[in-house]
């Protein structure tokens, strides 16, 4: 994006308009990532909103402008992981499907249902790849795995996806 660094600089000096422009480019992916990881639209909305507010508060401490997107995703990832943990420790039932308002076509629904049946970890890995644009190495760093492990897990998750889709 043109003027990306200068937008980050402006945002760092407190320009909400500049921050908003930076946010505009990625907010859809942030939401998609959170929704596909958490399967719950309200929680996804919450974590994205929380993340953006945190990022705004802390943007001055961002050292490298080019890391802006990675930084937001890292914070969002951590928040999602914490939510996932709460689903386990609290008794909330996770929905079987990714429920969301959308203008769906059947095939998308099927894909989403198949995705929802993956494990927490598998959803997280695939969502980081697809919506965060991370490679296996970067995902590995975020989740404390070797990139090989990420690749194996991703292959396995996609295999499961394929099987789920065929059912």
Partner 1 sequence: MDEKKILDQIKKSADNLDIPDSLKPDNIEEKINNSNPKKKATVFVYKIGGLAAVLLLTLIVVWQVGRIGRLAEENTAETNALVQEQESQNVAEDAVEFQKTIVHAESYEEIYQALSKFNEEESISMYSVPDERSMAEEDVADDAGVNDAETTASLTESADMSATGQMTMDHSETNLQELGVDEADIIKTDGNYIYVVKGNGKICIVRAVKGNMELTDTIKLPNLSESIEEMYLDGDTLSLITRGSTTALEEGDENVYDMNSSQYVKIYTWDIEDRANPKLLGSITQEGWYRESRKNGSYIYLFTEYAPEIKERQDTSQFIPKVQEEDVQIDDIFLPQTLNSSNYLVITSMNINTPDKVEDKKVIVSAANMFYVSTENIYICNNNWTGDRNTTQIMKFHYENGKLQAVAAGEVPGSLNNSFSLNENDGYLRMVTTSWDSNIDTNNLYVLDSNMEICGSLDNLAPGETIQSARFMGNIGYFVTFRQIDPLFSVDLTDPRNPMILGELKITGFSSYLHFYGENKLLGIGNEVDPETGEYKGLKLSMFDISDSTNVTETDKYILKDVYYSPGLYNYKAIMIDPVKNIFGFLAEETYVVFKYEKEGGFINLFARNMSDGGDDSYYYDTRGLYIGDTLYLFDYKKIRAFDMTNEFTEIGIIDL
Which residues inside 95-154 make contact with partner 1, applying CB under 8 A?
A: 100-105, 107-109, 111-112, 115, 120-121, 124, 126, 129-131, 137, 141-149, 151-154
Q: Which of residues 20-79 bind partner 1 (CB under 8 A)?
A: 20-21, 23-24, 27-28, 30-32, 35-36, 41, 45, 48-49, 52-58, 61, 63, 71, 74-75, 78
Q: Which of 65, 70, 94, 161 binds partner 1 (CB under 8 A)?
A: 161
How would you label 18-38 residue by residue, b for 16+ Cβ within 10 Å and e otherwise?
bbebbbeebeebbbbbbbbbb
19 binding partner 1? (CB under 8 A): yes
Q: Residue 151, Cα to own-chain centre: how many angstroms?
A: 18
In sequence order, the 6+-apart residues with CB closer than 8 A to the CB of 93 are none
Least Cβ distance, residue 5 to partner 1 (angstroms): 17
Residue with tokens 């490298």: 64
17 binding partner 1? (CB under 8 A): yes
- Three-class SS of residue 98? coil
Q: Which residue, 9 or 86, has its beta carbon nearer to partner 1?
A: 86
Least Cβ distance, residue 6 to partner 1 (angstroms): 18
91 binding partner 1? (CB under 8 A): yes
Nearest to 32 by CA among 129, 144, 158, 135: 129
159 binding partner 1? (CB under 8 A): yes
Structure tokens at 130: 């697809």
Structure tokens at 81: 């992981």
Least Cβ distance, residue 133 to partner 1 (angstroms): 10
Residue with tokens 């990832």: 77
């Amino acid at each position: 994006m043109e003027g990306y660094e200068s937008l980050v600089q402006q945002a760092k000096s407190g320009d909400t308009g500049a921050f908003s422009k930076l946010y505009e480019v990625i907010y859809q992916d942030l939401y998609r990532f959170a929704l596909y990881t958490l399967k719950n639209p309200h929680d996804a909305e919450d974590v994205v909103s929380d993340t953006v507010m945190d990022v705004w508060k802390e943007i001055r401490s961002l050292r490298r402008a080019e890391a802006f997107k990675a930084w937001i995703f890292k914070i969002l990832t951590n928040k999602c992981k914490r939510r996932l943990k709460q689903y386990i420790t609290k008794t909330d039932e996770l929905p079987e499907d990714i429920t969301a308002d959308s203008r769906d076509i059947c095939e998308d629904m099927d894909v989403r249902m198949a995705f929802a049946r993956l494990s927490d970890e598998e959803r997280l890995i695939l969502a980081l790849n697809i919506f965060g644009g991370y490679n296996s190495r970067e995902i590995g760093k975020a989740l404390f795995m070797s990139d090989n492990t990420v690749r194996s897990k991703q292959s396995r998750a996609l295999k499961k996806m394929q099987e789920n889709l065929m059912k």
